[in-house]
Amino acid sequence: MAEIVQTVLIITGISGSLALVLTLANLYIANYGECKIVINNDKELVVDGGSSLLSTLNEQELFLPSACGGKGTCGLCTCKILEGGGPVLPTETPFFTKDELADNMRLSCQVKVKQDMKLSIPEDLLNARKYEAVVEFIKDETKTIKLLRFKITDGQEVDFKAGQYVQLLAPPYPGNPESVYRAYSVASSAKEKNAIELIIGYVEEGLVTTYVHQHLSEGDEVSFNGPFGDFYLRDSDAEIILVAIGTGIAPIRSILYQMKDEQIQRKATFFFGARTQKDLVCAEEMYAFEKSIPNFHFRPVLSREPDDSGWEGDRGRVTDSIQTYIEEGIDQEAYMCGSPVMIESAVIELKKKKIPEERIFYDEFG
């Protein structure tokens, strides 16, 4: 027994010393100096080496999408590193197919800038900007979901497609020593160029939602960047199926504003899942859209509404609504937003209704 304890202590001591040596080497020896980053054979940046490519680009006001704040878990911060990226790390491989890896796709938050690099980044991502804004209002939609409106104060106009998202910055606050970004879908009309609205749910111990729900007040200054994402209404004649739960209503609300603004005639149904009537975020607005969008129907579905509440609408989950109301053999497209679990089961139901996978679009939150 004593021998085992001694061996464990020796191994722990050796690994601890190695980690210390590596940290010190990183701090004092591995000075990568100035590095040149060339983007799309055009834009040239001279940066200090040593940080992740994602944060290095951020410092240069070039914003790649990121929903996990650089933790290597969301897989959104991809770009092609044509030269200077070093070997692919085990933290990156789960996010790419063999072909993508062969095509030099990398996770920019996992790659450290250590030498000159050549990158390929889609032009529309290079158009993402940083915006300064002030909180115009904060409205409690439910106990745990807030609707916020940010008025842009730096003179810029924001140009986004309904359905896209921005990254909101939470500055350091008591209990969170570092600035962090998280993704939030724009919930307002893309016609508005000087303000955006977001719908943000509280996540226990979540860094950015704690900032929004417990530290942010009307009149405060905020900063966000974007827009990002390829979740937006495709131009076609197909019937539109919209599906969301909870805060997943955010990009759908923006798409509904687009349908209202453009008076889109396509038949559309929005299946919105909530627990009880009290959890139906923006319900009044959704019913009002039935009057202002030509062929739109709002179908809320409640999973935990008390039997004796007088609720005469649908009960169950959004997947039950898909089973009940979606007809087979019709030209249809689906747009969905919510938790990965909901999306996974809704995709299964939509495929049962013979809607091809390439006509099912979604953003997963979480």
Ligand X SMILES: Cc1cc2nc3c(=O)[nH]c(=O)nc-3n(C[C@H](O)[C@H](O)[C@H](O)COP(=O)(O)OP(=O)(O)OC[C@H]3O[C@@H](n4cnc5c(N)ncnc54)[C@H](O)[C@@H]3O)c2cc1C
- Interface residues with ligand X (CB under 6 A) are 67, 165, 182-185, 199-201, 203, 205-209, 229, 247, 250, 363, 365-366
| Partner from ligand FES, ligand X, none binding residue 66, C-beta < 5-8 Å depending on class | ligand FES
Q: Taking CB under 6 A as the rule, which mask of x and - marks residues 61-80 in contact with ligand FES?
A: -----xxx-x-xxxxxx---
- Nearer Cβ to ligand FES, position 110 or 189? 110
57 binds ligand FES (CB under 6 A): no
CB 292, CB 286: distance < 8 Å: no
107 binds ligand FES (CB under 6 A): yes
Give the 3-state secondary structure of residue 343: helix
Q: Which residue is nearest to ligand X (CB)?
A: 206
| Partner from ligand FES, ligand X, none binding residue 182, C-beta < 5-8 Å depending on class | ligand X
Phi first, then psi, for residue 111 (nearest 5°) are: -95, 125
| Partner from ligand FES, ligand X, none binding residue 72, C-beta < 5-8 Å depending on class | ligand FES
Helices (H), 313-360: 318-325, 340-352
Residue 176 structure tokens: 């969170």
Phi first, then psi, for residue 232 (nearest 5°) are: -155, 160
Residue 126: closest CA among 198, 187, 37: 37
Least distance CB 205 / ligand X (angstroms):
6
Residue 302: closest CA among 293, 313, 292, 294: 313
Least distance CB 271 / ligand FES (angstroms):
29
**Ranges within 315-354 binding ligand FES (CB under 6 A):** none
Residue carrying structure tokens 């690994």: 15
Give the 3-state secondary structure of residue 2: helix
**Side chain identity at 39, as an amino acid letter?**
I
# binding residues, ligand FES (CB under 6 A): 13
Helix (H), strand (E) at residue 73: none
Summarize as ranges the residues that interact with ligand FES (CB under 6 A).
54, 66-68, 70, 72-77, 107, 109
